[in-house]
Structure 1
Amino acid sequence: MRHRQSRFIFGFLFVPVLLYAVLVIWPYLQTFGYSLTDWSGFSPSMNFVGLKNYTDLLHDDVFMTAIGHNLLLLVLLPTLTILLALFFAFMLNVGGRGGTTGIQGVRGAAFYKVVFFLPQVFSVAILVVLFEGVYRSDPGGLLNGVLVKLGLENPQHPIEWLSDPDTVFWCILAVLIWAGVGFYLVLFSAAMQSIPKDIYEAALLDGSGRAQTFLKITIPLLWETIQTAWVFLAIAAMDAFALVSSMTPPAGLYGGGPNHRSEVIATYLMRNFLPLGKAGYACAMGVVIFFITLVLSVVSLRVTRRERIEY
């Protein structure tokens, strides 16, 4: 019987594992192999250069700047997105406090969930068009128009949000947070609905306020969901290619401007791979992204690991 079970499990897993090996693992191995060559990406000929591409990365100022931006995103994007999503999910599920029907969310919670989740329906192209209107560098832009109306900005000298080295990175971060909060709000809301309302009602009877129930009950009971969200957002922070390449100058060269102030590893990788014809060098960047993401995911899971709370 045990032998038959083993054959069934092996037969069931053989095809998926084979497909995963061919479509995922093999391309990773190929990328690592190409990173050890001077391949141009356009010619089948290549020369083995060993670790030269990796040593060149250590002396590449633009690449180090891009890593700095990715690491900053890695800290800010998960932290701010999770905090905002947790706060809104808490208010929409238990923020209404006790009523005749017990613990409930604020009035109109179902409508607010739809509104918050709406950005998930938009593609990156729609987000780019939408926020290019928000960040337009003239009084006709939404953000500049509001500042002009409030008297906080000179209409003759509007802020060029996406062309100013001091603001472009923060503009991209704001879009990433805005686009991500809705998804994690729904994720946390689903997890909160599995928490027995009796726990919140007992806390209310003990005189706990909103802050205490949020910190002492909601976060501990949602810790595994928060941990998962953190890993997904960390992976997103190591990418951000589509948004940066579409919203920031120079147009047609995968963004990253002005003066590399919004550069991330993915945009610099693509610029080296296609326009510059340095595919081997770009593959070395891809390997670096892979190992950084892998290490950060493992570390975050280890650091945030705690005993499971049963309820």
Structure 2
Amino acid sequence: MRHGKARFVASFLVLPVGLYVFYVLWPYAQDIGYSLTNWGGYSDTQEFVGLDNYVRLVKDELIRKAFWHSVFFLVTVPVFTIALALLFAFLLNVGGRGSRAGVRGVWGSSFYKVVFFFPQVLSLVLIAIMWQAIYRGDEQGLLNGILMKIGLVDPEKPLQFVADPTPFLGVPTVLWWLLLIAVWGGTGFYMVLFSAAMQSIPKDIFEAATLDGATRVKTFFRITLPLLRDSVSVAWVYLGFIALDMYALVYVMTPSQGGPDHASEVFASVINFTAFNKGQFGYACAIAVALGIFTLLLAAVQLRVTRRERIEY
């Protein structure tokens, strides 16, 4: 009877496991295999070069640039997105004026949630094209047009937002403008996520804190934030993955898909340029493997650091 049940369960697992192996694990295995060769991508011949590609990427100045740019996004995208999402979620749920009904959110909170969530229904490429019009480096650009109208920008010298490699706080200016887009596009989703988590917290806790004289700031840091730790941890991991995949914004918005002067290069843009422009697919695969290992290590560290016993309420 037990063997029959095992065969019955196995019969249902064969197809999904087979599809997973064929469409997920096998491409990974191929990528690792190609990373050990000098394959050009368009020929049937390939020479085994061992770890030469990995030694090369360690010494590659462009890879080093892309790494630090990715680290910049890895730190700033989660920090700013989560901070804004938590602030808006708190205001929408417990930021309204007190009433006889107890603690409540601001009036029209459902409408604000829809407005904040709106960027999520747009594709990332569409968002990039829209912001490209805003950042346009002449008088036709929305930002340049406004700044020229109020006299803050010389019409003869319009700002080159995503074509400006000059550093600001040690980071190319173009990266800060791309960061603004990433935060704008992601805040709404995580605001809704945190809002749903806050609604699961009993209102009695907030009302008791209010009766004890706790301010909204103390309520947020002493009650709300600790009870949302699980949601924040999940958001941090997902935003970390998003920060490592800024390719769409870089490709659509920046000069030469990583410019100017490689000031906005990220791992994905380097992989694309190396494979399809230089014809060095073996080296591109090595970069992709390194990025995959870095991503797995990042996820493991984040989950380990944010893990703790669940709070019951």
Q: What TM-score bracket applies, with the shorter chain setting the length?
A: over 0.9
List structure 1 runs of 4+ shifted beyond 6 angstroms: none
1:76-115 alignment, distance < 5 Å: 76-115=76-115
Residue in structure 1 matched with residue 73 of structure 2 by the alignment: 73
| Alignment partner of 1:124 is 2:124 | yes
In structure 2, distance between residues paired with 1:216 and 1:148:
45
| Alignment partner of 1:226 is 2:232 | yes
Residue in structure 2 matched with residue 144 of structure 1 by the alignment: 144
In structure 1, distance between residues paired with 2:87 and 2:4:
51
In structure 2, distance between residues paired with 1:268 and 1:145:
33
Cα gap change, 1:2/1:224 in structure 2, threshold over 3 Å: closer, same or farther?
farther
| Alignment partner of 1:175 is 2:177 | no
- SS for the counterpart of 1:102 is coil
1:225-271 Cα shifts (integer Å, max 9, x gaps): 11111111111111111111111011xxxx00000000001001001
Contact in 2 for aligned 1:162/1:171 (Cα 8 Å): yes
In structure 2, distance between residues paired with 1:198 and 1:221:
14
- SS for the counterpart of 1:198 is helix
In structure 2, distance between residues paired with 1:4 and 1:184:
46
Residue in structure 2 matched with residue 309 of structure 1 by the alignment: 311
Deviation of 1:148 (Å): 2.5
Residue in structure 2 matched with residue 213 of structure 1 by the alignment: 219
1:257-288 Cα shifts (integer Å, max 9, x gaps): 00000000100100111121100000001001
Residue in structure 2 matched with residue 50 of structure 1 by the alignment: 50
1:175-219 Cα shifts (integer Å, max 9, x gaps): 111111111111111111111111111111111111111111111
Q: CA RMSD in A?
A: 1.5
Contact in 2 for aligned 1:98/1:201 (Cα 8 Å): no
Deviation of 1:8 (Å): 4.8
Residue in structure 2 matched with residue 60 of structure 1 by the alignment: 60
- Would you say how many aligned residue pairs link Structure 1 and Structure 2? 307
Identity %: 53
Question: Which of 191, 196, 203 matches 2:197?
Answer: 191
- SS for the counterpart of 2:27 is helix
Contact in 1 for aligned 2:129/2:252 (Cα 8 Å): no
Q: What TM-score does the superposition give when structure 2 sets the normalisation length?
A: 0.94
1:50-107 Cα shifts (integer Å, max 9, x gaps): 0000111011111110011001110001111111111111111111153233222111
Residue in structure 1 matched with residue 169 of structure 2 by the alignment: none
Q: Which residue type is aligned with residue 91 of structure 1?
A: L
In structure 1, distance between residues paired with 2:306 and 2:141:
42
Cα gap change, 1:34/1:134 in structure 2, threshold over 3 Å: closer, same or farther?
same
1:149-171 Cα shifts (integer Å, max 9, x gaps): 34322222111111111321111
- SS for the counterpart of 1:257 is coil
